[in-house]
Structure 1
Amino acid sequence: MVAIERLGGRVADNYWIVSGASIEIPFDRIDEVRALEGVLRLTPDRALVPTIKTITNGANHNSDAVNALGFKGKGATIAFMDTGFDSNSGSKGRPHQIFYEEGDLTKRLRLLANVQIGLQPADNSDPHGTAIVGAAAGGKWSNANADNGHAPQADIVGYCIAEFSNGNTTNSRLILGFQTVLADATKYGIQIAHVGYQGFPDPLDMTQQASDQCSLVGNILVVCGAGNATSTTRSPSCANGIAVGAVTPTSHTVTSFSGVGPITGDALRYYPDMAACSHGIIAPKIDDETGIYGYPSGTSVASASVSGAAALLLGAVPSLTAEETKAILLATARDISSKNATRDRNSYGMGLLGCDTALTLAQNASGWGRGSVDSTNTMWQRSFSVQAGKTYRTAATWMRQIMTSTAWSNLDVEVLQGSTVIASSKTPRNLYEVITFQAPATGTVLVRVSGVTIENNKQDFGWAFTEAAAPPLRSEYATYGAGCAGASQGCSLLQSYNWSQSLAAQSTSATEIGILEFGHPTINVCGVDFYMSAKSSPQTVTVRLRDSNGVGGVPGSVLGSATVNVGTSAGVYSVRFSPLIRIFANSLFYVTIDNADKLNLPVAPSGKDLLHYEYQNGSWVFGNAVKWQYRLHSDNGQLVPSLSSNDTPVLGKSMSVDLASARANVPAIFLLGFSDTMWGPIPLPFAYAGTCKLLASGDVMLGAATSATGTASISLVVPASPALVGLRFYNQFLVVEPVNAFGLVASNAGKGLIGDF
């Protein structure tokens, strides 16, 4: 310190986390500082920039499924080195609601501290910090599009290292941030440290020495964004932590901005380590619990997701070390190589974050652990059971120990079955190895870790072994087959329009009139009555039901027709349709009559105006509102029960399977099974009465009752168990109807595929 002052400078900070200090010195005295005894390296104090409902679902990280199982990060603590938090939200005198468990203001406040380290205040120096914590561990706030972050019950500690009003910081503040996190680790129980800023790819840079020392000494998993400039010239080395690249949600293609390796300065070191979603993410807004902070993107959003995932694991299994947590996250990352055919692991690392599979592995104590090699015992090995044809993943992760050296340990990993090496990973510069392999035979494999070079004579490592995670599976639901008709209940009046049995003087030059009908439940039209007459001579009139043409909604295809002879005396002229004309619920259709220009039209002197079209000169044109006089009849029997669903079966969600067009107010049976080819000894489909067929196995049968309109619904809740992904199921309704010996009519059937989303 005295030597620096003699040169006209001052020591701004002395660090104990690394052997270094932050000094201010005239530029022309730098060479003299470099010549001082004990000075090994000078690094300029450069400016560093912050890097920023869908990402948590089954199509992406699937923390929703983990949360649904009750694991929400409680017991874990994340430290955020960022731009500070909204710790005094607006005029409320309290932190933003995202800092309460799941956004519920009646529950526990999880913000343990919001510490100012840089010159800027810890409360809202920039919106970036609050946005980032929202993705990692925020609770749901009061916006319709808001959602919980990955770990909405984890504890949170903020370290505002912003030095400038635009949120930027400096090397010296970042180093001090790591030092403060390490000092506070025991006090707050910090297990994860998220870095929301750029860094430097050189592991000897003081910021990176501080980062890796924080990991090593504090048993803290440091998580960094891989940078937002494609190049890694300002990406953090993060050698002892996890560097995270960014992909677009759902498509899982690498974003255009995400840092791409190999890391600058080390052509043999793959970078980043894994990937997570980051693009157009909904984020909380400072001082506004009903708003959103735009739709931020950036690798700091991706890395925040990984920080939240780590909190889920450590909340569930507190004994995990930083290396073991990293090994689990890498071993369970999902393969997205097929989504990025022109890229390699230097864009997406070991794959996409998978919270559900990571938790499953973390809960299996035999699937992870710690090992070590040293200068005497250079090999560690362990056996695992495998099944032929299945794909497995194993990972080993370790930390560098000497911060002033890049000669860290180089460990190789091999998988052997018998004496044959079936897979290996031998990257010379990464501080982890991950192997994906397919078991050639059922039995055991041996995972072997060998120390090629061992730093400081001994190297501890974390390991994980698991069946490889499949890509997220999209859920499906579709209907198949056909139902059978119930008993006839006779042709009865459905609707009467202006039925006065007196005529107004109304005629037309149109050859056909089409009266619009809509708003009915599913019906079987059996007949129509008109009150009308022919003008001068009897006419044969064709009455048609037409559908609504999708182009403009004019009368379209003929659904059914019948004829009636109309005399010159006014009276009731009726038609009956055979077969019945089925109109589905809420469909638009038209009742039409031809030879309209030769008729005294069925129009009442008073009543309600109805809409119609007129067919003139080869096209349909919209007519003036007219008080049409007619009656519509329907046979509410002979209905074919219809099964449908607007939902798909997603883990942890419910879906509704609906019945319509059934007999009213009768019992129904819902069949739920796992085959559409056999039900016990019965081959499917099985015709039990005429056209009535069993189409799905009834391994589970649930009772229901139809409503007055012939509808029913069954709610199915899909458990949040990853083991169910890929399971197919089948269902069908049977409705009580006195139409056959069994007294049952059948609906069509549905088939579902349980998926992550």
Structure 2
Amino acid sequence: MRLKSLLVVPLLWTPSLLAQNKCVYYPDNNAASGGCNVIPFGTQKSSATWRNQKYQVLIPASKISKTPVRICELSFAPCGTGLRRFDSIVIKMGYSKSANLGRLFASNLGKPFKTVLSQKNYAWQNTANTWNPIGLQNDFLYLPQFGNLVIEVEVRGSDFPRTGRNGFHTGNIPRLFAISWSTNPPTNGRVSSTAGLKMELCFDKANYALFGAGCKGSNAKTPTLSAVGLPKIGKTMTINLSGAPTPAVPAVLILSTSNATPLPADLSSAGAPGCFLYARPDFLLGVGAVNGKASLKLPIPNSPSLLCARFYNQFLVVDSKANKLGLTSSNYGRGLIGN
């Protein structure tokens, strides 16, 4: 099934700012090298030390751009593979005229700053030794005349049952952090001259990242969303479903522009325990899953105005034997339109 371009254009339009480079890296672009550190994304939820964290890092203006750019995505390089969960995560970006981080969080994050990600019950699928987009919900217009870039991350209730090593790859980057707190983070943190996380900042690079987790159906399998291709301007990508009941069941693909609060919505009270609605159901595209699988073509219009636009996808599968609601849900994907 092909989604009409006329439907996608008004749904996904956003103003664009052309960038000189697709991405910049700090301190380098090797996602498989460097030490591994659990600050700020934590380990197991049972650890009182690492469960809640606040963290800041400063990127010099000279490492980003001499001209204004729009930061559309922020990626990190995990040392292990698995589904990383947070009770909540908030990421902010702002400016600092200082070349160094001080101990006071509020003083480092100068105005104007912007919240680029704020979500509860966040599940981030990590793949080791590659750049993993964190899933920014909002862009940040970086103006070099305002100073150096400060990125702040605050997580609560982090949990990562992993495969392989824990933490994320680090570089020789100063950082400010606060750990071992319970209700509210302290106003001051500890400054460390090394072990800040490696980062990828992207301006107009297309990506499609996976988040969330599906719930098991009557066949003891979990409906799973995946994608082939990237949401590049003027190109077509494919969204796939696997793990649906056999021989044939109806399903719908959600096409949305938002995963913001109050999402994700827990469907337990509706009769589907363990299932979540991750994407706002702006448009529903019907599809038949045959032998547990389905595919839909998603054409991206050839319009530069769509650069940096985001969209979200999730499958809902009709499964009358799975639960009282008669539905199961998949994980979800976040597309970032680019070149």
Using the size of structure 2 for normalisation, the TM-score is 0.39
**Which has a greater percent of helix?**
1
If asked which structure has higher relative contact order (CA below 8 Å, sep 6+), I would say 2
**TM score, norm. by length of structure 1:** 0.18
More strand by share: 2
